[in-house]
Structure 1
Amino acid sequence: MYAILDIETTGGKYNEEGITEIAIYKFDGHEVIDQFISLINPERDIQPFVVNLTGINSNMLRSAPKFYEVAKRIVEITKDCILVAHNAQFDYRILCTEFRRLGFEYERKSLCTVELSKDLIPDQPSYSLGKLVRSLGIPVTDRHRASGDALATVKLFKLLLAKDTTKTIIQKSVRLNPKRQLEPRHLDIISDLPSITGVYYIHKEDGEIIYIGKSKNIKKRINQHFTGTNAKSKKIQAKVTSVTYEATGSELVALLKESEEIKKVKPIYNRALRRSIFTHALYHFKDEFGYLNLKIDVADGRKKPITTFSNRQSGKSFITKAVEDFNLCQKLTGLYKTKTSCFNYEIKNCEGACIQKESLKSYNKRVESLIEKNSYSNKNMIIVDRGREVDERSAILIENGVYKGLGFFNLNYQINNLEVLESIITPMQNNRDTQHIIQSYLRKNKRLKTILID
């Protein structure tokens, strides 16, 4: 039995993608006997190039189910099946990543129709799904949508089954995606670790810390280190003798502590993370007509950014959404290069700031609202998040736009006085990385409680 699938994603950094659409056709070797097709709310931004490619945008996904709501159906329809996909390694990885976020280890055998096609239909000019099915005369509709691509893969797989007359190539191509076996000493270390959010420290024999990380599930993350096959994982596996941890409850607190500790301790296997964790920033300036312009640019320490991003694509996604949310001009946000009006003005979605039709005051007010919302510059505020226990909360203190530190307080303890708050706060370093961590977290967790203080 086969489960032939296709997944559309948000795009973005490796292993941080989210699913936007999934289609699965259960195939018994002759016909489709069951199917599951659904849009998925990925709870994260979609990269603009993906929107252009698939036509799937955030508005379409607002009322779509989240992955955890369809996870059970996916498990059921793929049970006892071999997963089949065009570039199966990608689809299988994305599916496993989503299940891992739910704390579930998803495992299936898989077959890749790219590899099979190269064996059974050699000398094709291209093995991309679109070009391959066209060259084979297989009809395809809704290209770059999960249902259309999965259905095309069903038809391609039928052809491949027919071509595999000896029935050996497909049998040899099935992969179990085996896991590495843990060494007994690694199992002992993992058995003592909790499945909680926090910062962990990997030590070698003399107690020296060789790696610092953070995770929403420390036990699972250490398990990944111990079963990883890349060069860094293998070095850690060879040297580790113990793992210690600090519970934080809040992922934001864990991120801030991880950043501070790495800079302080400088572990040998955290070298990559000692560099700045962001590359691009959002800046603003006034043009010759007095309109506030926004620009995503390479981060420059000499300039004061509104907010920062891990990469240019993340910044472009932010600006694209900001244009929609704050009714901004595509030209004045750098999304549409033109000497005249922007595209949105032509379709009456822009008030005309691009050609000085909208008043300065009206347009700049909306830009200032965006700046106010996404920058904590000059603000006195507390960010309240989860604590280490049920009746506890964490507090991150910002004073005059500067990150001062963090602490924990009991639910019954009122945090509204700066002097009281400072007494429970552990001072921490304010730098460009901490600003980026806080701003990014606030962008992604819009329901997070923030308290402005006098």
Structure 2
Amino acid sequence: MSTLLPVYVLLDLETTGATPTQDRITEIGLIRYENGIEVGRWNTLINPEVSISPFIQRLTGITQSMVKNAPTFFEVRNTLLDWVDDAVLCAHNVRFDYGFLKNEFKRIGITFQKKLLCTVKLSRKLYPQHKGHGLDAIIERFKLVCENRHRAMGDTEMMAAFIAAAFNELGEHAVQEVALALLKQQAIPANLDQLEINAIPDTFGVYLFYGESALLYVGKSVTLRTRVLSHFQGDHSSAKEMRIAQEIKRIEYRVTSGELGALLLESHLIKEYQPIHNRQLRRERQLCAWQVSDDPAARPLVTLIYESDIDWTTLDNVFGTFKTKRQALEILNKLADEHGLCDKALGLEKGSGVCFSHQLKHCKGLCADKESAESHRLRLLTALSGYKLLAWPFDGRIGIREHNPDNDMTEMHVFDQWCHLGTVRDHQEFDEIATHPHFDRDTYRYLLKFLNRKNVEIIALHG
């Protein structure tokens, strides 16, 4: 029998959701190995003492009636501790499972700490030529047969089959060497709880750094734990990083199904809570934009309009958005100089006669009858083209679906008129999304980027 580690436990949990601090365990399945030999298996349903959503019931097949008479986590605590005693805890996306175990034990006053090995990371290291490393991808890669997918013991058996297949293909020494390397821990500040770091999965999401009494920083990443640890490297890239490392007392995190979900959640949290060390994405006053007149002879040719006056369904010749009137004027002045536009026509200079820029040979001469109003307006539109606001390209609301195969998490982000109305994980949550859209410049930028990507799943939503 090949040996991965001297003593290890393969484990999988089913839960009521994806957030360890809020959701609860509904099933535990594990297999224990000692010196390469399977010494036993344990599988039990758990009464989570909270309701299981219809979505989770459909995903796992675990219903409320199935767990009604099952033991609580408190009742199985000692049995579980015996099974994992002196063992390395191994799971697919192990930070997810470990986070739930840590929080379940914390609720009953027990500090739970184990060495961890993630079989997702093991797969990535052993098979870097493959793109997918979620359990479904591994099952497909090795042509494994799983009769109880999304049930704790069924998924645990698939991890065992994957390790056996890797031993067969690559050899015991190669697999064991990678496993031992993954066990090495990174150092973190002494004033931070090691358990909090261990609970963070390496997946899409947002992390929140708290000080003694305030929120210090909110960040996002496609690999949460790796990104969090990067803040605590000895060679801090900035004075801000150094201050955060010195002030941080606690970490929270929120898992998302993909990159867009992480961007949206980060932006929302920063605007809502105004963390001390976040400067980007802060809440903005009412945005403004430049609207170019349809009449080339209009004076001024451009008008500053504010967010509340913008017709987001058409956006005819509207350019922006800008955080302040000052920023809008600075950009218009800069474009006027670069493109030889007339300051008087743009309303940047008052009075009659030729503009001052023309005397400096910056203006091409609209004010001196050396250029037609039509030509000048076309050059203005060209100069502003990089700031063009696009009309909403869909007939009503849309959803962008994101799915994370590593943890089988799916979210749909709902948008209308460039506004994020909400994120849902179940059809029942559609009733809770916003009905009064609020334009956000960051959301607009994120959407433009994602709508231009390939393989983005867009769903038209009616009603």
**TM-score, length basis structure 2:** 0.42
**TM-score, length basis structure 1:** 0.42
